[in-house]
Amino acid sequence: MPKLIIDADDFGLSKAINHGIIESYKTGITTSTLLMPNLETAEHAIALAKDLPDLFIGQHTNFLLGKPCADPAEIPSLVDENGEFHRSKYYRANPANPELKFQYEDVRTETIAQMERFKALTGHYPEHIDCHSIGDETVDQAFFDIAREFGIHTTLKYSGDKKWPDQEGYLPITKLLESGALPYTNGGVSVENFLNDDFGLLKLAPNEIAEMHFDVGFLDQFVLDNSSYTLMRCRELATICDVRVRDWLSENGFELISFGDLQR
């Protein structure tokens, strides 16, 4: 049967987001979440998840918000004069400017520093990593190299049509869907997007795997001040927890798995 990874991004972004992601796992279809290790509420996130051993937690490597885990002096291209990450508008201002491109060594240094922070919080390195919100082929290359070095899985999503080699020891992902990048979700994924099969999940062949990313959560002032995704998080939380979605997936023979199930 086709398999689905239902991932809730941005674990650790804020206390409200953390509570929403836990809710999406306890009462919804979430199987995995990805932690932003550098943020202050990452520790709160891990504390909430301590009694949920089956919730897969990977790393949502963050280059866009807050302070880095590495020494800012070691990653000059990623930080501003205050030693904090450049915000997304910095990269979107002029994408053709070569000075706004990600630098391989800086990306590698900070990614591994965040993996060390992840280990300090959880007791182990992440088994899966990806990148939060904005990246390019340089980011993908750094992630690919780090994944091979540490023997972990990664999602590469910023290289256009480039075909990356299969990740040895892991089942391949057939379809990657990120809710915030889909034009037909109208401010957040709805129940109807599932029931109408807007994602094309019914076209998956047996044993194919779709990786689906959602932005679920409650809202607090930190989210309102620091994210362009606000009300859509509440909508997606409600959708992920709606029994009609679970029933539709069950009736159509989908198996819910986590990133931890990809290892052969």
Whether the pLDDT of residue 17 is over 80: the answer is: yes
Given phi > 0 = left and psi -120 to 50 = alpha, else beta, which region is 204? beta
Other beta carbons less than 10 A from residue 79's beta carbon:
21
What is the Cα Rg of the chain in Å?
Answer: 18
Q: Give me the mean pLDDT over the 49-65 stretch.
A: 97
Residue 148's closest CA among 165, 172, 131, 123?
165
Q: DSSP characters for 127-194?
A: SEEEE-S---HHHHHHHHHHHHHHT-EE---SSTT--PPP-TTBPPP-EEEEGGG-GGGSSS--HHHH
Tens-place pLDDT, residues 97-121: 776 789 999 999 999 999 999 999 9
Question: For residues 145 and 30, what is the distance between their CA atoms, to the nearest angstrom?
Answer: 28
Tens-place pLDDT, residues 158-191: 999 899 999 999 999 999 999 888 888 878 999 9
Handedness of CA 250, 259, 70, 178 (dihedral sign): negative
Note the pLDDT of residue 64: 97
Average pLDDT, the chain: 96
- At 7, give phi and psi (nearest 5°): -110, 135
- At 154, give phi and psi (nearest 5°): -140, 155
Banded pLDDT at 93 (limits 50, 70, 90): confident
Residue 103's closest CA among 137, 71, 69?
137
The tokens describing 162, both together, are 């480039």
Question: For residues 141 and 146, what is the distance between their CA atoms, to the nearest angstrom?
Answer: 9
